[in-house]
Amino acid sequence: EKVNVAVLGATGAVGRTMIRVLQERHFPMRSLKLLASPHSVGKVIDLGSKSGVVEEFSVAALKDVDLVFGAVDNDLATEYAPLIRRSGALFVDNSSAFRLDPDVPLVIPEINARDIRWHHGIVANPNCATILAMMALSPILKLTPITRMIVSTYQAVSGAGMKGMDELERQIRDPSAAPEVFPFPIAFNVIPQIGEFDEAGISSEEWKMQNEGRRILHEASLQVCCTCVRVPVYRCHSESIYVETHDAVSLQTIRQAAEDCSGIILNEAPYPTPKECTDSDIVMIGRLRRDGACENGLHLWCCCDQLRKGAATNAVQIGEWAWQNGLLKKGV
């Protein structure tokens, strides 16, 4: 049976990408509602063959909706979530409001789709940087558990939404334009801060990666250390990852495992770059090599489109899995 879908936050960079991905993947939609907070009401969104007008989020607007994809900030997601749950629709939420809630599964379908089974009306979409790291490690995770992970990220400005992309463009044209979105000028620069720092000097983005990775892998004691960095790239995140594995695995075995993992491509000719991954759903990995000091240590490089697999596509895949397994409208 086809599904009545709503995209909440339909005017933002992730919301617009969700709409595009739903159409491209021929999601079995009976209807598509475009919802947003009051200030976006009335905006017109291009839906390819036609256009759609954004409606204000309300309980009445949720009537008959089976599945809501959320691309709004934490405050709105927290305000709207109880209303969506009460309506009976499944809420696939891209904010970070529920990602660490033990009652809410946090899912990358290629890794832990089965967690969707125990949802209570909300499934959380992980942070884009977490999705990239977990997807890139999926061939290794198929072979052996990971005991330690050190990640340095190179995150695109799209992670801060359309306003982040606008700020980069503005500063490329006028390098003296004052920063409004990022703490320092982003054009021709690199900023080792995403989110706010805590008293230990760890940023909120770094905490997200650590805690979300542990939840997705069901490895509460996994050692994770991250340095999250904003770079002047429009919409594709990259990461340099070091992992220590429980068992020794050869590079050849990992290469073979990568061929069997969906959603990733190993590109060693010579390596992936963010530009080549832009507008693709594939996570690319490369520069796979052994560590010189630690016997079970491995290094790799990876890239993926932050707006697609890092956000919209992952959310739509969650919706697809829930639909295929009869997990919409659980009547919570």
Question: Is 117 annotated among the ligand-binding residues?
Answer: no
Question: Is 51 annotated among the ligand-binding residues?
Answer: no
Question: Is 213 annotated among the ligand-binding residues?
Answer: no
Q: Residue of minimal CB distance from ligand 2RA?
A: 159
Locate 190 and state its tokens: 């690199």
Q: Which residues contact 324 (CB under 8 A, 6 or more apart)?
A: none
Catalytic residue numbers read 128, 237
Sheet holding 90-93, edge to edge: 55-56, 29-36, 3-8, 67-70, 90-93, 122-124
Euclidean distance between CA atoms 286 and 87, whole angstroms? 45
Euclidean distance between CA atoms 63 and 72, whole angstroms? 20
Amino acid letter, 260: D
Q: How far is the CB of 109 from ligand 2RA (least distance, A)?
A: 18
Q: How far is the CB of 257 from ligand 2RA (least distance, A)?
A: 27
Question: Is 324 annotated among the ligand-binding residues?
Answer: no
Q: How far is the CB of 144 from ligand 2RA (least distance, A)?
A: 28
Q: How far is the CB of 306 from ligand 2RA (least distance, A)?
A: 6
The answer, yes or no, to whether the previous bond of 272 is cis (omega within 30 of 0) is no
Write out the H or E segment, with its range, that includes residue 136.
helix 128-141
Q: For ligand 2RA, which is the closer residue by CB, 160 or 288?
A: 160
Question: Is 14 annotated among the ligand-binding residues?
Answer: yes
Binding positions for ligand 2RA, 150-209, rule CB under 6 A: 155, 159-160, 194, 205
Binding positions for ligand 2RA, 199-258, rule CB under 6 A: 205
Q: Which residues contact 259 (CB under 8 A, 6 or more apart)?
A: 266
Q: For ligand 2RA, which is the closer residue by CB, 17 or 127?
A: 127
Q: For ligand 2RA, which is the closer residue by CB, 65 or 209?
A: 209
Binding positions for ligand 2RA, 110-139, rule CB under 6 A: 127-129
Q: For ligand 2RA, which is the closer residue by CB, 41 or 100?
A: 100
Q: For ligand 2RA, which is the closer residue by CB, 126 or 139?
A: 126
In the chain, the DSSP E strands lie at 3-8, 29-36, 44-46, 51-53, 55-56, 67-70, 90-93, 122-124, 146-154, 223-227, 236-245, 264-266, 283-290, 297-305
Q: For ligand 2RA, which is the closer residue by CB, 194 or 282?
A: 194
Q: How far is the CB of 300 from ligand 2RA (least distance, A)?
A: 20
CB 194 within 8 A of CB 203: yes
Beta partners for residue 266, in sequence order: 285
Euclidean distance between CA atoms 113 and 234, whole angstroms? 29
Question: Is 292 annotated among the ligand-binding residues?
Answer: no
Count of residues that interact with ligand 2RA, criterion CB under 6 A: 8
Euclidean distance between CA atoms 208 and 206, whole angstroms? 5
Euclidean distance between CA atoms 162 and 115, whole angstroms? 31
Euclidean distance between CA atoms 238 and 28, whole angstroms? 32
Euclidean distance between CA atoms 72 and 38, whole angstroms? 12
Q: How far is the CB of 218 from ligand 2RA (least distance, A)?
A: 22
Question: Is 159 annotated among the ligand-binding residues?
Answer: yes
Question: Is 7 annotated among the ligand-binding residues?
Answer: no
Where do contacts with ligand 2RA occur on this chain (CB under 6 A)?
A: 127-129, 155, 159-160, 194, 205
Annotated binding site for substrate: 155, 230
Binding residues for phosphate: 99
- Residues flagged as binding site: 11-14, 99, 155, 158-159, 230, 306
